Amino acid sequence: MNVSLPTIQGYFQASDAAVQGIIASYLVGYSVFLVTGSRAGDHFGRKKIFMGGLFVFTLASALCGYAGSIEQLIIFRFLQGIAAGFAVPQTVTLIQLNFKHGEYRSKALGYYGITLGIASVLGQFLGGYFVTAHWMNEPWRLIFLINVPIGVIAVTMATFFIPESKIVKKANFDMGGVLLLTAGLSALIYPIIQGRELGWPAWTFALLAFAFILLFAFIRYQYHRAKKNKSALMPLHLFKIKSFNLGLGMVFFYFALFSAFLLTCALFLQTGHHVDPLTSASYFIILGFAFMFSSHWSIKNGSKFGTGLLQVACLLLIVSFAIQLIWFKNAIPFIAIVVTFLCYGLGAGMLVPSFLKIALKDVPHDQAGIASGVYSTVQQFSSALGVSMIGGVFFYVEHKKGNFDAGYHAALYCLTGYALAVLLLLYLFKKTDDNKGAL
């Protein structure tokens, strides 16, 4: 998606805020409804919710492919995100429930993390390939339309191969919690996306303040329901688990970093240095192969090294950003591009599969569904914030100085700070964990 943004922006003559909105609208819809989706699976059946979400996602992809304006595309991307928010939590829950042995569950979650990482990188390459396809008009639409046959196949396979898991019977579905969380998260992210483009009018700050009031009300409401032994959308006792909190912190900073890196790097290369989309996407293949190698190796051997290996992986990300700060200006040496994406891929491949294992390490099996929903909510919400905040820094500096190099370097300093935050949280996990950071 990210490598296709300059092409889509040019086709619709869209603003920078609209470009951010294409990414962020999906992430907002996704993050806002993940907790709701995980609870819906517990109440109504995980297979039903998974297939329903997948069907709507496929439909929304077709609508995106035929969008006639940038506004329509943003709306349909939001619908895509909502559908994903209902479908995705069921996958992690089914893994937790069907792989109850610790070693097998750890490997299954690791391979799930690998799959997500490979898919995100492969998507970069396919996006670059599709927007340069010469055998159809408006080839960028293939980015969305390719999901239609894939979605049909996935729904068909799910019908025959996924068993329905046991439905957790609760008193009532927490609609009040759904409304408060949905309104609070939406009110928080919208002004962050639109504020810079509109010059930060007074209503954006008022909406941000209102968002925090809504989120505080949500927390109090969840506490009130739990105290009365009623079904809560988000059990607050999960946040008493140290490994869960640290894992959420790691995933927050990493995925904010990752989403912003994909966006700003694609814009820097294509718009700033006039690299064609397919060449830009091919650079991410280097990252993808490095990711596949290191993630597969870390699943098999990571337990021997524990958190120390993850700290080394985080340093590789920082090295990648340092190389870009030194070499990504004017004429970029090809070797610098190779080493940059190689270092990032090796580091990310060891980190991403481990975050979920850390977060769910001490979570009881019967809380796997809602815990994975909270984890995925933080992952997607942080991605939206990364696009909005670090992307905002990129556009602000680029416009102020009229230089894409300056904008990208400002973003790189932010990315480095986020990587250092992940490194700090890994240190705290190793220091406070009863097993000294063993994975």
Is it the case that residue 85 has pLDDT exceeding 70?
Answer: yes
CA 188 to chain centre: 17
Q: Where does 132-201 have alpha helices with state H?
A: 142-145, 147-161, 175-198
Note the pLDDT of residue 214.
95
Across 379-386, average pLDDT: 83
Question: Residue 170's pLDDT band (boundaries 50, 70, 90)?
Answer: low
Q: For the residues 32-52, what does the mean pLDDT come to?
A: 84
DSSP letter at 229? T
Q: What is the pLDDT of residue 211?
A: 94
In which element (H, E) is residue 118 found? Answer: helix 102-131
Question: Residue 381 in contact with residue 27, Cβ under 8 Å?
Answer: yes
Q: Exposed/middle/buried for 114, CB within 10 Å: 0-12, 13-18, 19+?
A: buried
Distance CA 365, CA 242 (A): 17
In the block, tokens 């200006």 appear at 329
Least-confidence region, from 47-51, 414-418, 432-436: 432-436
Residue 96: name the closest of 330, 294, 290, 357 by CA: 357
The whole-number average pLDDT for the span 340-367 is 88
pLDDT given at position 115? 79
Please choose, from the candidates 244, 241, 177, the residue with its C-alpha nearest in 3D space to the C-alpha of residue 215.
177
Q: Which amino acid is at 422?
A: V
Please give the pLDDT value at position 416: 98
Angstrom distance (rounded) from CA 317 to CA 90: 31
In this prediction, residue 428 carries a pLDDT of: 92
Question: Are the C-beta atoms of 6 and 27 separated by less than 8 Å?
Answer: no
pLDDT of residue 439: 58
pLDDT computed for residue 58 by the predictor: 97
Tens digits of per-residue pLDDT, 295-326?
Answer: 888 877 777 777 889 999 999 999 999 999 99
pLDDT at 235: 78
3-state secondary structure of 345: helix
Cα(245)–Cα(258) distance, integer angstroms: 20
Report the pLDDT value the prediction gives residue 307, as an integer from 0 to 100.
86
Instruction: Place 175 in a pLDDT band, splitting at 50, 70 and 90.
Output: confident
Expressed in angstroms, the distance from the first to the final Cα of the chain is 33
Q: What is the mean pLDDT of residues 31-39?
A: 79
pLDDT at 343 over 90: yes
Mean pLDDT along residues 26-40: 80
HEC-encoded secondary structure of 8-74: HHHHHCCCHHHHHHHHHHHHHHHHHHHHHHHHHHHHHCHHHHHHHHHHHHHHHHHHHHCCCCHHHHH
- 117 has pLDDT over 80: no
Q: Which one has a higher pLDDT value, 128 or 261? A: 261
CATH 1.20.1250.20 for the 2-173+231-432 domain, yes or no: yes
Percent of the chain with pLDDT over 70: 93
Here the contacts of 135-138 (C-beta below 8 Å, separation 24 or greater) are 138/11
pLDDT per residue over 420-439, tens digit each?
999 999 999 988 765 555 55
Q: What is the pLDDT of residue 245?
A: 94
Average pLDDT for residues 317-338, to the nearest whole number? 93
Average pLDDT over residues 377-396: 85
What totals of helices (H) and strands (E) does the chain contain, helices first? 15, 0
Vertex 286: Cα angle to 392 and 110 (nearest 5):
85
In this structure, the number of other CB atoms found within 10 A of the CB of residue 417 comes to: 14
**pLDDT tens digits, 118-165:** 777 777 777 777 877 777 788 889 999 999 999 999 999 988 888 777
- Residue 325: CB atoms within 10 A of its CB come to 15
> How do residues 195-226 score in pLDDT, each as one tens digit?
766 778 999 999 999 999 999 999 999 888 88
Query: What does the pLDDT average to over 338-342?
Result: 96
pLDDT at residue number 149: 95
Cβ 33 vs Cβ 86: under 8 Å: yes
Give me the pLDDT at residue 109, please. Answer: 72
Question: What are the CA-CA distances from residue 84 to residues 2, 144, 386 (Å)?
Answer: 18, 14, 19
The mean pLDDT value for 15-28 works out to 80
Give the residue-averaged pLDDT of 248-254. 96
Count of Cβ atoms closer than 10 Å to residue 156 Cβ: 11
pLDDT of residue 197: 67
Q: What sign does the dihedral 313-314-317-322 (CA atoms) show?
A: negative
The dihedral region occupied by 199, where left means phi > 0, alpha psi between -120 and 50, and beta the remainder, is left
Instruction: Give Cα 25 distance to the centre of its chain.
Output: 12
Is the pLDDT at 352 greater than 90? The verdict is: no
Q: How far lies 267's CA from each of 99, 245, 281, 416, in Å? A: 41, 33, 12, 19
- What is the average pLDDT value for the chain, to the nearest integer? 85
Domain ranges of the chain: 2-173+231-432, 174-230
- Are 320 and 337 in contact by the 8 Å Cβ rule? The answer is no
**Helix H or strand E encompassing 302:** helix 277-305
- Check residue 181 and give its pLDDT: 84
